[in-house]
Amino acid sequence: MLYIDGQWQAAASGATFAVTDPATGKVLDHVADGGAADARRAIEAAAAAFDGWAGLTAYQRSEKLYAAYHLMLERREDLAKLMTSEQGKPLRAARIEVGYAADFLLWFAEEAKRVYGQTIPSNRAEQRFMVLHQPVGVCAAITPWNYPVSMLTRKIGPALAAGCTIVLKPAEQTPLCAIEVFKILDEVGLPPGVVNLVPTSDPVPVGAELLSAPEVRKLTFTGSTEVGKLLMAQAATTMKRVSMELGGHAPFIVYDDADPKRAATGAAMVKVLNTGQACICPNRLYVQRGIADAFIAALADRIGKMQAGSGFTEGVQIGPLVDQPSLEKVDRQVRDAVAKGATVVTGGQRLTDGPLADGYFFAPTVLTGVTDEMVIYREETFGPVAPVIVFDTEDEVLAMANDTEYGLASYVYTNDLGRAYRSIEKLKFGIVGVNDINPTGAAAPFGGVKSSGLGREGGQDGITEYLDTKLVGLSF
Ligand code: NAP
């Protein structure tokens, strides 16, 4: 179903599309297939609702977000199970994601009340300057499938807190999770039109409608860099504000003073996060020569023992990839690397034994001897493959780490404070984890530089993305 102007409804065309389980290939459900006409109605509803919503007090808006936070936690188990069916991640990881998603509702329920202004002294005695922050207006949100609940609340939370209304287009693979999130928003009693949901099997006409609409004042997008650039160009025609959370190609640097086993444990865990389908997953693991053998052995041991399968099976750490093209991309990158001289230490191929045959499973893999001529060295993998590169000096590794168009997450393992600090300052990334594989949280500003995007989500910065600054000059 679509959710427009407070009503669950079919698409204007009457069309639906199938949603499948990536672990089994089975159809889970059919969802209304929104088109340009539906997007237009959603925009009009959001525009009509804007003045009323923006006109509420921050306390009133905050109450709705608190209510949504509590309801989401009450539904945690059901939402997690649905996510495992629809997206494939292990149930334990799905539960964690629902908690993370709810955190954004809580954080922005609190931030709603902290949209402060400013007074600035003037050099004229009879003049005062004042700065106000006001909601930007109707926002279009386009979200990916890999975190099908938290990527929604990371946008809806701050938009609603700021006083904006929103039209959201979820990923084609995960509309069912989006529908459950919107059921929560419906049940907490948001006024009609404040939030609107338009799932679709064809993002182009819906995206074009959202981006050409003069009423839409902001685009908030999470997805690939390729699509992000396309949407940003479309948004330019009506000079919308944009927030872009795009792809990554994270370096994971292990210096020779670090404990190789501890670093390998961290690397393995963050590499297989969401089966490698997270924008912060390391895509290049750099280890200093002195501890390279110990690190590679520990990494291969850890990754080689990981169990792949249905996310509902206890002990499974590796779920399926989301679809066939994703599986083919991972396979193509591994074959390219091997053809150019890389060694497969563990894994390296598709998994098709028994029940895995029906899903999109790829073995957790460690590659060594990876060089910058290989596709995997530059292209985001989005799969459970860990490419290892050995380095000698700090300068050398920082230059290699920065040699990418991306700039989202980066990681450093060291016990040397100087090395840590120099690396933090020199890495051209929006996020640096130092002996830390989870540098994220609702209270922290998440985002990238270069082709990884613009703007920040979460933290204090998260809400400013949805606020315009107004300067007032007041003379008397
Ligand atoms: P994607 O192919 O770029 O899709 C993202 C969203 O954009 C989907 O809703 C998609 O709809 C939509 N879309 C695609 N083409 C469009 C068009 N022409 N007009 C309007 N909308 C369009 O990315 P993905 O494969 O879903 O997600 C994986 C990517 O997201 C990776 O690159 C990952 O690094 C990135 N990501 C970044 C962050 C971050 O915070 N930086 C977080 C998570 C993921 P359809 O589903 O219908 O194609």
pLDDT digits (tens, 9 = 90+) for 191-204: 999 999 999 999 99
CATH of the domain at 342: 3.40.309.10
Tell me how far the alpha carbon of residue 283 is from its chain's centroid. 16
Percent of the chain with pLDDT over 70: 100
* 46 and 89 assigned to the same domain: yes
What is the Å distance from ligand 1's center to 290 Cα? 40
Specify the CATH number for the domain of residue 83: 3.40.605.10
Nearest atom, ligand 1, residue 202 CA: 47
3-state secondary structure of 379: coil
- Residues 374-384, mean pLDDT to the nearest whole number: 97
Same-domain check for residues 412 and 455:
no
Does residue 281 form part of some domain?
Answer: yes
Q: Summarize the confidence of residues 6-25 as an average pLDDT.
A: 96
Report CA(430)–ligand 1 centroid distance (Å).
19
Atom index in ligand 1 nearest the CA of residue 234 equals 19
Q: How confident is the model at residue 403 (pLDDT cuts 50, 70, 90)?
A: very high
pLDDT value at residue 435: 98
Instruction: Tell me the C-alpha distance between 398 and 392, whole Å.
Output: 11
> Same domain for 79 and 221?
yes
Buried b (16+ CB within 10 A) or exposed e, 433-448: bbeebebbebebbbbb
CA 23/CA 86 separation, integer angstroms: 9
Q: Whose CA is nearest to atom 26 of ligand 1?
A: 144
The residue from 111, 245, 380, 394 that is catalytic is 245
Interatomic CA distance for residues 435 and 455, integer angstroms: 25
Average pLDDT for 265-291: 97
Percentage above 90 pLDDT, the chain? 99
pLDDT digits (tens, 9 = 90+) for 72-101: 999 999 999 999 999 999 999 999 999 999
Is 52 domain-assigned? yes
Please indicate, yes or no, whether residues 208 and 265 belong to a single structural domain of this protein: no
How many domains are there within the chain? 2
Mean pLDDT of the chain: 97
Residue 26 has pLDDT above 90, yes or no: yes
Is residue 238 domain-shared with residue 302, that is, in the same domain?
no
What confidence tens digit (pLDDT) does each residue in 462-472 have? 999 999 999 99
Could you tell me the pLDDT band of residue 278, with boundaries at 50, 70 and 90?
very high
Going by alpha carbons, the residue nearest to atom 10 of ligand 1 is 171
Residue 6 is assigned to a structural domain of this protein: yes
Beta strand pairing call for 216-222 and 241-245: parallel
Q: What range does the domain containing 398 cover?
A: 250-434
Residue 38, amino acid? D
Average pLDDT rounded to a whole number, residues 130-139 = 98
> Please, what's the b/e burial string for 12-50 (b: 16 or more CB within 10 A of its CB; e: otherwise)?
beebbbebbbbbbeeeeeebbbbbbebbbbbbbbbbbbb
Per-residue burial over 145-171, b if 16 or more Cβ lie within 10 Å, else e, is bbbbbbbbbbbbbbbbbbbbbbbbbbb
d(CA 139, ligand 1 centre) in Å: 17
- Both 212 and 84 in one domain: the answer is yes
- The answer to whether 245 is a known catalytic residue is yes
Over the Cα atoms of the chain, what is R_g?
23
Domain shared by 257 and 402, yes or no: yes
Ligand 1-lining residues (CB < 6 angstroms): 142-147, 151, 169, 171-172, 203-204, 207, 222-224, 227, 230-231, 245-248, 279, 380, 408, 448, 453
CB atoms within 10 A of CB 426: 15
Beta strand 250-254 pairing with 365-368: unpaired
In ligand 1, the atom with minimum distance to the C-alpha of 201 is 47
Q: What is the pTM of this model?
A: 0.97
Examine the domain organization and report whether 40 and 161 are in the same domain.
Answer: yes
Asked whether residue 406 is domain-assigned, the answer is yes
The pair of three-digit structure tokens given for residue 120, joined into one six-digit string: 């600035």
**How far is the CA of 51 from the CAs of 124, 136, 417, in angstroms?**
35, 11, 52
- DSSP 8-state secondary structure symbol assigned to residue 290: G
399 CB-near residues (< 8 Å, 6+ apart): none
The CA distance from 425 to 321, in Å, is: 35
What does the pLDDT look like over 338-377, one tens digit per residue? 999 999 999 999 999 998 998 999 999 999 999 999 999 9
Question: Which atom of ligand 1 sits closest to the CA of residue 223?
Answer: 30
CA–centroid distance, 281 to ligand 1, in Å, is 16
Residue range 46-77, pLDDT digits in tens: 999 999 999 999 999 999 999 999 999 999 99
- For ligand 1, the distance from its centroid to the CA atom of residue 227, given in whole angstroms, is 7
Cα of 204 to ligand 1 centre, how many Å?
12
In this structure, the answer to whether residues 128 and 221 fall within a common structural domain is: yes
What is the rounded distance in angstroms from the CA atom of residue 399 to the CA atom of residue 78?
A: 46
| HSE-up (13 A, CA, CB side) for residue 263 | 28
pLDDT given for residue 360 in this prediction: 93
Residue 388 in 3-state DSSP? strand
Q: Give yes or no: residues 128 and 235 share one domain.
A: yes
Residue 316: pLDDT band (50, 70, 90) is very high
Ligand 1 nearest atom to the CA of residue 143, by list position: 9
**Mean pLDDT, to the nearest integer, of 268-292?**
97
Report the amino acid identity of residue 322. V
Q: Which of 222, 244, 382 to mutate to test the pocket of ligand 1 (most atoms within 8 A of CB)?
A: 222
What's the average model confidence in pLDDT over 124-131? 97
Spatial distance between the Cα atoms of 370 and 341, rounded to a whole number of angstroms: 8
Alpha carbon 194 to its chain centroid, in Å, reads 23
Q: Whose CA is nearest to atom 37 of ligand 1?
A: 246
Do 210 and 277 lie in one domain? The reply is no
d(C-alpha 296, C-alpha 365), whole Å: 12
Supply the pLDDT for residue 229.
98
In a domain, 121, yes or no: yes
Among the listed residues 139, 164, 177, 279, the single catalytic one is 279
- Residues 329 and 383 sit within 8 Å (Cβ to Cβ): yes
Residue pair 198/206 in contact (Cβ under 8 Å)? The answer is yes
| Spatial separation of the C-alpha atoms in residues 157 and 181, rounded to whole Å | 12
Pocket test for ligand 1, best of 197, 224, 274, 380 (most atoms within 8 A of CB): 224
Structure tokens at 304: 């080689």
The answer to the question of residue 195 being in a domain is yes
Q: Give pLDDT, residue 105.
A: 98
Give the nearest ligand 1 atom to 225 CA. 32
Q: What are phi and psi of 399, to 5 degrees?
A: -65, -45
pLDDT bucket at 423, cuts 50 / 70 / 90: very high
For residue 231, the tally of other CB atoms under 10 A from its CB is: 22
Taking each helix axis from N to C terminus, what angle separates 58-74 and 76-87, rounded to the nearest 10 degrees? 70
Residue 440 included in any domain: no
Return the pLDDT at 358: 87
Q: Are residues 254 and 168 in the same domain?
A: no
Distance 168 CA to ligand 1 centre (A): 13
